[in-house]
Amino acid sequence: MGGSPGIYLVMTVTSSPKTTLKRRMFFHSVLKALPKAEQSFFVRLAHVRNDLRHITSLCQIGLQGVRSTRGLERDICLHQLLFAVRSLCGTLNEAWVLIKTDWDDTGLGKQLSPQLSATVRESLKFLRRYFGNSSLLTKLRNEFAFHYFSSNLPRVIDRVEETHEHEFITGKLSGNTFYGFAEKLLNFAMVDVTGDTDVLPAVRRLYDEPSRAYSHFIRFSDAVLFEIAKRFRVQTESFETTMVIDPRDVPSVIFIDENESSST
């Protein structure tokens, strides 16, 4: 598997025009030979792992955009970053539900835990402690991730000075429309959840805390997936790809050229 887990695990940075990876193959018959509950767990765990891979890439791109822009453009990049963070929180919460239902409740955990390293078992203990208590991640998931509901938004709206000027942006293309006022108010509401009064430390915490849970989940999920795959008589071959990037060089999509684009 390689590498210590973390928010940057899936973001390979290389100065080479190509990189070598491994393709691991197995026949569907060996998957079908697993007990039904284990089949489902194996596929669903791999699926959520894939989703997290993409979401963390979006986090990195959004973070770089926030660091490299100012003003309105920075507001748009901040929306992209916090959208990715909210998606990360929601997906991690569902990943934990998967562990509870398909790992704990089916007895699969008791069967496979002895084969996991002490480090992986510690990561699982971290997740149990973290999700077993009230957490910032759970609050963000419940009020900002997929539900478009925030219990403290009315309080935030009441606190803003009446002379504060809001704005939104429009253009010929729908992709250039941005309702900045909504993001600022919702951002204030998210900052309010952290308990911080300063926006920048609050945004840092909104990013960092889910990242810690992510790190432990990645360590656990990769270890379990590889442990199950040991029974598959996996065939491995190396291949090279030139589709490699440094995510720090990937620009955020802020506005679309209305003179060149005919859609979006």
Q: Residue 15's pLDDT is what?
A: 52
Domain boundaries, the chain: 19-135+207-247
Q: pTM of the full predicted structure?
A: 0.87
Which residue's structure tokens are 């006022």? 181
Two tokens, residue 115: 């084969």
Q: Residue 148's pLDDT is what?
A: 78
For 201-238, how does the pLDDT look when each residue is reduced to its tens digit (9 = 90+)?
Answer: 888 888 999 999 999 999 999 999 999 999 999 999 99
CA distances to 71, 100, 163, 178, 180 from 170, rounded to whole Å, are 16, 45, 23, 7, 11
* pLDDT of 141 higher than 70: yes
Give the residue among 67, 69, 62, 72 at the shortest CA–CA distance from 250: 62
Contact 1, 49 (CB under 8 A): no
